[in-house]
Amino acid sequence: MTDRFRTGDRVRVRTAFPPGHVRTPFYVRGKTGDVVSVAGHYHDPEELAYGRRGAPALALYRVRFTQDELWGSGEAPGDDLVVDLYENWLEAGHG
């Protein structure tokens, strides 16, 4: 399986609000960040949560967002935040 994204890629988190169990925090949805690293491949927690296998494994990315991107303005200009996100939640980002 090939990973869709690589370190340094700009990615945008899908703006989606499914009612079930997901591991993508609300506050990063629709936000754009940079892939810091590929953290491995893991079975899909959205499936595991309901007793299914969650195969095939999904790529998990560490994605960095600036605090300004997340909140409009952060406490200090350089501050940022890294979240682990599964590939099904990411699309190519721009800018």
Site residues (CB under 8 A) for another protein?
A: 17, 19-21, 23-27, 39-40, 42, 45, 48-51, 54, 60, 67, 70-71, 75-86
**How many other C-beta atoms lie within 10 A of the C-beta of residue 15?**
9
- Minimum distance from residue 52 beta carbon to another protein (Å): 10
- The rounded distance, in Å, linking the Cα atoms of 37 and 34 is 9
Residue with tokens 């590939």: 87
Q: Measured from the CB atom, is 19 or 95 closer to another protein?
A: 19
Is residue 45 within 8 Å of 86, Cβ to Cβ? yes
- Minimum distance from residue 2 beta carbon to another protein (Å): 20
